[in-house]
């Protein structure tokens, strides 16, 4: 099953007379500046100003994650609450789902990963997000019929110990910016650096200038250069399990299965007993 869909393909699936996929608008943005008093990004307001016709807004912080705590800034949501939110949005097990965000792709990827990891068989991300859409937008809030999706226990999940082990036995990719991986800056978490053995692989390098994913062959070459080949077990982490989901999506486009460490650096670095590596060397 393909993991992404182009705006042209989506327009075809939304043509009159067709059975459209469920559309989820997951606009979200990490605002480090809000700590300095700047207004936080409001995805719901962006949605209200214009969204794909029929799309339902999904709040990443409240519906795709639990409250921040010991397990990181975006830990897994309660599965019952997640399932209820998806059913309210009209998600059913036998109907395709397309998710999109404002173009960065991180939030949409988190929704894609949550649904796929809990058993939905057909979820795709709009490649390039809302900026790639050339059709009309709507300001009407739909009232979808309730869905029937019941999430299964999450599959493809790493915890802190699993991530540490994978860094030794497979390939653990760090999806954050290189300067955070090296420990040169850390704008959010307690300390900078990376999990010992992890390889720097900024997720921003998986897309072109237009925000769309690189071709699958180019992504395969990129990941191969990072040590991913054959039957390599692959895991990904980031700051809080959001941009890492985007890298898991890029790996899926390349045909490579990968596990997500949801707690990511926000969980790892909160425990002073866990080792921290700095610099460009994985170790």
Angle at which helix 243-253 crosses helix 216-225, to 10 degrees, equals 110
d(CA 27, CA 107): 7
Active site members: 238
Q: Where are the alpha helices (DSSP H) in the chain?
A: 7-13, 43-49, 60-63, 79-88, 106-117, 160-169, 178-181, 216-225, 243-253, 264-268
Structure tokens at 68: 């921040």
- Residue 272: is it exposed, middle or buried by C-beta count within 10 angstroms (0-12/13-18/19+)? exposed
Structure tokens at 13: 């699936």
């Amino acid at each position: 099953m393909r993991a992404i869909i182009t705006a042209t393909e989506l327009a075809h699936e939304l043509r009159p007379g067709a059975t459209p996929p469920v559309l989820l608008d997951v606009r979200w943005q990490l605002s480090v500046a809000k700590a300095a008093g700047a207004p936080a990004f409001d995805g719901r307001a962006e949605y209200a100003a214009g969204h794909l016709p029929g799309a339902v807004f999904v709040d990443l912080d409240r519906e795709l994650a639990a409250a921040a705590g010991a397990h990181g800034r975006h830990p897994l949501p309660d599965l019952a609450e997640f399932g209820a939110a998806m059913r309210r949005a009209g998600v059913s097990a036998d109907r395709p789902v397309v998710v999109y965000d404002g173009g960065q792709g991180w939030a949409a990827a988190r929704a894609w990963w949550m649904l796929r990891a809990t058993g939905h068989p057909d979820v795709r991300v709009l490649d390039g997000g809302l900026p790639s859409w050339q059709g009309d937008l709507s300001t009407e809030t739909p009232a979808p019929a309730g869905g029937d999706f019941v999430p299964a226990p999450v599959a493809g999940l790493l915890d802190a110990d699993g991530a540490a082990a994978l860094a030794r036995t497979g390939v653990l990719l760090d999806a954050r910016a290189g300067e955070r991986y090296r420990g040169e800056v850390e704008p959010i978490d307690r300390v900078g650096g990376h999990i010992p053995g992890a390889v720097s692989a900024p997720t921003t390098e998986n897309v072109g200038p237009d925000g769309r994913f690189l071709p699958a062959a180019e992504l395969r070459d990129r990941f191969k250069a990072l040590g991913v080949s054959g039957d390599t077990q692959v895991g990904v982490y980031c700051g809080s399990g959001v941009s890492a989901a985007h890298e898991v999506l890029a790996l899926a486009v390349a045909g490579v299965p990968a596990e997500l460490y949801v707690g990511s650096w926000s969980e790892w670095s909160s425990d002073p007993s866990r080792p921290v590596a700095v610099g460009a060397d994985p170790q």
